[in-house]
Amino acid sequence: MSGIHTPPPASGSDTTIADVGGRGGLIASVLSAVALGFSGLSFYESVLKTASLEVYVPPVIHYARAQGGDVELFAVPITIVNSGARTGTALTMELTVENLRADAPVKTKRYYSAYIGEHSPKDDEPNRTFAPLSLAGRETFSDTVQFYPEGNPLPALIDDAGDFRFTLKLTTALPAHPGWLDGVLRKDIPAISFDRTLPWFSEQQLGMRRITIPMHEKNWKPTTAPAPQ
């Protein structure tokens, strides 16, 4: 009586159903882990990421005088971007200005964020007092901040045209009830420094006419449209 013979596997092939099933399970596990990782990253970016404030200053700021020319001020357009998911609050801004002229009678002064908005040429124009800026996650603030001198405004720092170095620092609020994640991931905002040039200076025009003088980067040139052909 002849039996049924199972043909031997092809030469060089050791693959079995168990092997194929094992590979499929491994691939499924890897894909699940990748999907879980992306889900966790998305949750962190959209919910858990602590506030991260970044500060930007344009190439041109303005110098002016107030109160009859006795109080100097800097009007600085500032953009703050919160790239985190949680709310961040800038309590105050501090501006330190250094006169780079070697023979300057006053070398350094500090200024605080006093008002929001452009410097007005009118004496009776009301000012918007600076208040802490609260930025929700992914929110942006952009406006001009007027910096006034701390303490006695006299003598003034600027008495002539020249080059000046600015250091801008933000003081941010800590969370009311910080968790361990805030302590691990929170980063202080580093101060930013930039140089600007005052091209000319006039006590009379600053005091009597309340004009503002643009201060720009040393090699900055305004962008102009090409002349029509």
82 and 129 housed in the same domain: yes
pTM strictly above 0.85: no
Which residues, 6 or more positions from 52, have their beta carbon under 8 angstroms from its beta carbon? Answer: 82, 83, 84, 88, 187
41 and 58 housed in the same domain: no
Q: What are phi and psi of 174, to 5 degrees?
A: -80, 150
**Domain closes at, from 7, 31, 48:** 48
* 148 located within any domain: yes
39 and 62 housed in the same domain: no
Return d(Cα 191, Cα 207) in angstroms, integer: 31
34 and 99 housed in the same domain: no
Least confident segment among 91-105, 142-156, 158-172, 207-221: 207-221
What's the CATH number where 62 sits? 2.60.40.10
159 and 195 housed in the same domain: yes
The confidence score (pLDDT) of residue 45 equals 42
The whole domain housing 64 covers 53-175+184-216
pLDDT tens digits for range 179-210: 555 555 556 778 999 999 999 999 989 988 78
